[in-house]
Chains A and B, each alone.
Chain A
């Protein structure tokens, strides 16, 4: 979840500016034909993570992402044999292809992590609703975020409750997955539907849906920092385009 206790410059940026940055950055690294732009972008995001007091090594699933990155490079090197030989069976095309895909992956994963850790979901939903998103859709985002941890706990409870009645979920092998599918998923689904039903009643019971629009207790204001961030995004895209045209 968002580290809303922190108050770095990145945290203070308008949520929509950060969202546009995330989209712009993702499109740019995927448009880039070489490996330079994705890797420079990933490095830049690392610096921003550091500035926002969000240590990159706390990225959820860090080991999995790094393993995936190494595997992508290995597969490219193993199967792309065209171009100049760099070392043994390794060709420049294979190496660059692997580094390009890995750079894109890391840049997007790190940027998404930065966005999630520095953006209050309520502020994002409010900004989106003020920008014209229907209220129901805006709250779909907030309630989804609200229900994820609730349902995760429910899933854990259902699993344990069945385990203690002798269901061999702690055994190994394919039978475990078959049992989970048959016995665990249905009670979990029932639980999720009940929770969603109770929440919808509670929301309507406090006037949700009374008007097509709503007011907000606080304003998510734009600041000079947002203008600077928007300008930096334009400069970043322009620089990436220039590098792409000059072989970067």
Chain B
């Protein structure tokens, strides 16, 4: 179905190829997972397979990719789209219409299929992805998981022979991600659809026994069915196992109270997002904030930053009520990293980006520059300091986001899914940087950190306490080992399973 022969691709202006010497053959009905560290060429390979690279982006190809014996480079994209489809990370950016039914029909209408066939194919695709109940709904009203299912179904309705998904669950909670993976594995098994998924969430994929293809520095270094024999190499590809590396150690006794949320209620459009939430965080603590999509995790962080005001109750951070000071001035004491890496990039170079917050806060440049250089070096970004931030990979941008907040040493760190799409090597760097703030130094008091994450490895090895939220309320607040046991017993095992890779 998909055949790569000595395929390589070098982006315009890049010093090295993103992908090189890739020779692969993927048959009909195969369920394939592509793994590898950040920057190993996974997305480049996915774009090339779907005809979105050669002739559409600046760069130099070599070798060939054939889909069903048709050369990708010589086939117009709309024709290739009848054979293979790509689901991107952000479903919002892929929707061409305004409601679910129109979205499912879109591809078939483009192919001038008759209305009866459109209705039939749309209904089948809706059944396959279990979204029949969503038909007719406005796309703007769907949750993240529902949007991703609609994005997959809109491609399935066109009945392609192969589907490529580039980190389709990056923003989904583990339960929703697991359901999506199972649906895709069933489709491959039952309908003969070839499914290629690029993912870091191996814990949920390995039980589905996919064929694993590992990339490292643009080359295929692993190609075999899942099994024990693949485990050591797999661990190397996803970074050293947490058991093999040192993760930050935190002082046992929590210190002064830094975050005090008392019966806070926050609402929007007449419905509560946070409902009577109470939470205390002390210096030296790293809190993992877990919960399903839409449970209020991001709103909790925004409430602590002062971006949303509580309608009832109170929120105090670092001794100040969040309503007492302008948000821009609170940035000295509280650092927030948003979910989307691109939103926070404002400067023209990586170097200016790191120093941005220090400069807006009037901190002397000499000290800040020395620390910035050290942090960039530790993050592996020293060689990119003159580049535009938007030219970095996703993983590099996330590290840059965090560094730019760490430099002015806030006492409270609020991180919204900083580990999404990161391999363990990068996650380890982020955890060490967080540990530095939380543990303090002889000249700097200890701080605290709240991390919204869906990665159980990060929770187990980098956090001291778990706050689990559902429907705007804190359902569970306990130290990590106790919380894991409680989550398992309450039917939330997907949030604690670490699988073979962790």
A→B interface (CB under 8 Å): 1, 121-122, 139, 142-143, 145-146, 149-150, 154, 157-158, 160-171, 183, 186-187, 190-191, 194-195, 198-199, 201-211, 213-219
Contacts and interface: CB of A to CB of B under 8 A. Distances in A.
B19 interface: no
B338 A160 contact: yes
Contact of B98 (A146, A201, A209): A146
A203 B360 contact: no
B343 A158 contact: yes
Interface stretch (B105-113, B269-277, B480-488): B105-113
Contacts of B122: 217
A194 B79 CA distance: 24
Contacts of A158: 343
A202 B109 contact: no
B96 A203 contact: yes
A121 to B, nearest CB: 6
Contacts of A201: 52, 86, 88
Interface of B: 50, 52, 77-79, 81-82, 85-86, 88, 90, 92-99, 101-102, 105-115, 118-119, 122, 138-140, 154-155, 158, 302, 305, 307, 326-329, 331-332, 334-336, 338, 340, 342-346, 356-357, 360-361, 390, 404-405, 408
16 contacts: A146-B96, A146-B98, A150-B92, A164-B331, A166-B328, A166-B331, A170-B328, A171-B328, A186-B346, A199-B93, A202-B93, A204-B81, A205-B52, A208-B110, A217-B119, A217-B122
Nearest to A160: B307
Most buried by B among A145, A198, A217: A217
Most buried by A among B106, B138, B326, B343: B343
B343 A187 contact: yes
Given A166-B360, A214-B109, A215-B112, 12 more contacts: A122-B102, A145-B98, A163-B331, A165-B344, A165-B346, A165-B405, A166-B361, A205-B52, A206-B85, A206-B155, A207-B111, A211-B110
A123 to B, nearest CB: 10
B302 to A, nearest CB: 8
A157 B94 CA distance: 19
Given A121-B98, A165-B405, A187-B346, A211 B112 contact: yes
A167 B338 CA distance: 15
B96 A198 contact: no
A146 B340 CA distance: 20
A82 to B, nearest CB: 51
A169 B346 CA distance: 14
Contacts of A167: 328, 346, 360
B146 to A, nearest CB: 16
Most buried by A among B109, B113, B138: B109
Contacts of A183: 346
Contact of B113 (A1, A166, A213, A215): A215
What 3 pairs between A and B have smallest CB-CB spacing?
A206-B107, A202-B94, A210-B78
A187 B408 CA distance: 23
A191 B342 contact: yes
B118 A215 contact: yes
Contacts of A202: 86, 88, 93-96
A171 B343 contact: no
Nearest to B88: A198
Given A168-B360, A205-B85, A210 B98 contact: no
Contacts of A215: 108-109, 112-115, 118
